[in-house]
Structure 1
């Protein structure tokens, strides 16, 4: 891990400008700080534009944004823990509650908040630091697949992405991305032993570790079929099998913990479905994999006044386009098999568990290594264009999800 913070020999080239002469950690830090400054300006403007009828009201501020939406739940977990008795709605169904939120980010933010005076301050600091470190690891991952310019531009796209405000609010995404990027980098470097630590860290930060379990399975299959090009020692086989099993156990363990704490075997899944009921008049009583997209097609067809089959066709088209990119796009293929397999695994995971709504933009951030493909073309005009689109998308996301928060169905981050 130590070489994450040191320049590799490949970077010891004569600098053409002063920026290139700086250490990687400093250069990435400058990109990240500049991106955070732009995001701060966007948040300030959004606070000024927030109407009285929005979730945050006319007195909205950066602090209220940082503590809003899911951040409130993490604050609740840090202060009050998890309920031993599940709250119920008037109709007797499980209501929204803290079991939907993993503990690691909440408690880590609480520890930082004890130093800096408030949980919100601690949460923002954890997100900021985790975001910077995630940028640094992303650079190292992509530097192994391309030159310095490609990796640096990819970090710029990531730091300024449409949902980059997540680095400055009380959400667990930045911390999860740090663990995820470290885990992917370790797999790429065949340093499997680190994953025995990183998998539990991922699993208790936010949902998604089951996608990593699928990735490890596909990674193991890929290594088996390519063992003549890259040797496959027995110890690697053992690591991959054990780590895949660990990821599955960690992925389902929160359901077991919730069941034991509440006495309800379906406590966690019932809690997750409580959020889905906000979008449906006739919500399901039980979770069924892949059902979310079918239910969403019915919901959005009503909202958009189009046939459900058309919505499903759009989903199928999006899935086919994404699969085509992973399989055939030359820029994506240059990222290597591991990052492509992770992207496919996470997409399958979302298809299995997600009910498509406006949170989809936030839930797509674990696919961020694909920014490397957008950075491969060497045209400066192309790269500046991508960065401009990122910033426009970021403003639209902040304005919609925070200035207009709660004023429409599509204003939920």
Structure 2
């Protein structure tokens, strides 16, 4: 009897339109995440940043969500806040305007409701686009599993809080899908929106350059039309302009040419007692390797070795791993571009895992093996890591060491 019920259920699932299946997976995942948030809230205490018995809405508005709310309600400061030493303090210039104001618009003045709704809907749409992006590469079934890993992954809580990542990933996946199909026209509208949603669009400029080179190298087998060359070059220039424009805007409004970079560097003083006064590419990860080696009781050189091994491992996976190669060249080029961007601009700390979410297309590599036990095992690991992330970043949340 049970076997017949299971068989009928599986047949019904197979006949369900793929859009509905993705929506069901996403809805079930959100219910699980809500349960995790409720458990974290129940175990919260006065030592937590959120206090004892916080409401789910408190979590939705926690951490960086407060900065986006500040942007929506108060805008950006015309004078940079500084400490007694004259160093720029943390301020709203580190947060882009699109998500903040879209949440205000959608919420009809109730920013919190608008922010959660934008994140929820963006996550669902991102799942649909991810399936569309991966299906021609790894097959429909594997693409659906990749969606399940994404919707239930370690960072899935971001679909239910006031962070811009959900919207940015949606825009990014659409952009990658358009590039992979050589449909460049819509990117002229999409890239500026993406660029003013959250930092990272400069990585897309590098990706477009590498995409253009890759198409040039195989032009004898796959013709490269002159109009496509024009599009790729023009879009690369546009993306670079958008990527640097926020720095110019911050400088013009505040009268401080380095306003944006100084704002970003202000967060490093939470970790380093002597951060550099100026931005130096790649210094963040080098200093971060030294810092974390010290925290773990190791010499600085051990941190450098660990960093080198991580970089080498990522490079090997993108170049040689069979499951990653199945995803196609464009996804691998984007992943390499974004990882290089992070190495150049970021200081590794508790937000590192969140900043890896633009690598979402790599979820397809986890779904390539067909063994049923393996796929269910990966899904279980995703859920366990999600619970751990929510518990640490929201349930405990005592210090700046636990910032999502």
Is TM (by shorter chain) over 0.5?
yes
Output one character per residue of 1:182-204: Cα deviation in whole Å (capped at 9) or x when no partner: 00000111100111011111100
Is residue 406–residue 412 contact of structure 1 (8 Å, CA) maintained in 2? no
C-alpha separation between the residues in 1 aligned to 2:253 and 2:23?
42
C-alpha separation between the residues in 1 aligned to 2:170 and 2:375?
24
Is residue 192–residue 242 contact of structure 2 (8 Å, CA) maintained in 1? yes
C-alpha separation between the residues in 1 aligned to 2:93 and 2:321?
40
Can you give the 5+ residue segments of structure 1 that lack an aligned partner in the other structure? 1-14
2:43 is aligned to 49
- Show the 5 A alignment for 1:11-410: 17-114=11-108, 118-407=110-399, 409=401
Output one character per residue of 1:184-235: Cα deviation in whole Å (capped at 9) or x when no partner: 0001111001110111111000000000000000000000001122110000
Can you give the 5+ residue segments of structure 2 that lack an aligned partner in the other structure? 1-8
Which secondary structure state, in structure 2, belongs to the residue aligned with residue 53 of structure 1? Answer: coil
Output one character per residue of 1:154-197: Cα deviation in whole Å (capped at 9) or x when no partner: 00000001011000000000000010000000011110011101
C-alpha separation between the residues in 2 aligned to 1:406 and 1:93?
26
- Using the TM superposition, name which of 230-239 and 143-152 deviates more: 143-152
C-alpha separation between the residues in 2 aligned to 1:38 and 1:262?
44
C-alpha separation between the residues in 1 aligned to 2:217 and 2:398?
50
C-alpha separation between the residues in 2 aligned to 1:98 and 1:332?
37
C-alpha separation between the residues in 2 aligned to 1:264 and 1:314?
37
Which secondary structure state, in structure 2, belongs to the residue aligned with residue 17 of structure 1? Answer: helix
C-alpha separation between the residues in 1 aligned to 2:88 and 2:290?
23
1:412 is aligned to 403
User: RMSD value over aligned CA atoms?
Assistant: 1.1
C-alpha separation between the residues in 2 aligned to 1:121 and 1:261?
30
Is residue 120–residue 170 contact of structure 1 (8 Å, CA) maintained in 2? yes
Output one character per residue of 1:79-113: Cα deviation in whole Å (capped at 9) or x when no partner: 00000000111221000000000000000000111
C-alpha separation between the residues in 2 aligned to 1:146 and 1:324?
20
Is residue 203–residue 209 contact of structure 1 (8 Å, CA) maintained in 2? yes
State TM-score, norm by structure 2. 0.96
Which secondary structure state, in structure 2, belongs to the residue aligned with residue 46 of structure 1? Answer: helix
Is residue 120–residue 160 contact of structure 2 (8 Å, CA) maintained in 1? yes
Is residue 127–residue 174 contact of structure 1 (8 Å, CA) maintained in 2? yes
C-alpha separation between the residues in 1 aligned to 2:268 and 2:183?
39
C-alpha separation between the residues in 1 aligned to 2:63 and 2:229?
43
Cα distance, 1:408 vs structure 2: 6.2
Is residue 53–residue 407 contact of structure 1 (8 Å, CA) maintained in 2? no
Is residue 255–residue 268 contact of structure 1 (8 Å, CA) maintained in 2? yes
Is residue 155–residue 354 contact of structure 2 (8 Å, CA) maintained in 1? yes
C-alpha separation between the residues in 1 aligned to 2:91 and 2:357?
24
C-alpha separation between the residues in 1 aligned to 2:372 and 2:399?
39
Cα distance, 1:26 vs structure 2: 1.1
State TM-score, norm by structure 1. 0.94
Output one character per residue of 1:208-265: Cα deviation in whole Å (capped at 9) or x when no partner: 0000000000000000001122110000000000000000000000000000000000
Which secondary structure state, in structure 2, belongs to the residue aligned with residue 296 of structure 1? Answer: helix
Is residue 301–residue 311 contact of structure 1 (8 Å, CA) maintained in 2? yes
C-alpha separation between the residues in 2 aligned to 1:110 and 1:30?
28
Which secondary structure state, in structure 1, belongs to the residue aligned with residue 45 of structure 2? Answer: coil
C-alpha separation between the residues in 2 aligned to 1:90 and 1:401?
30
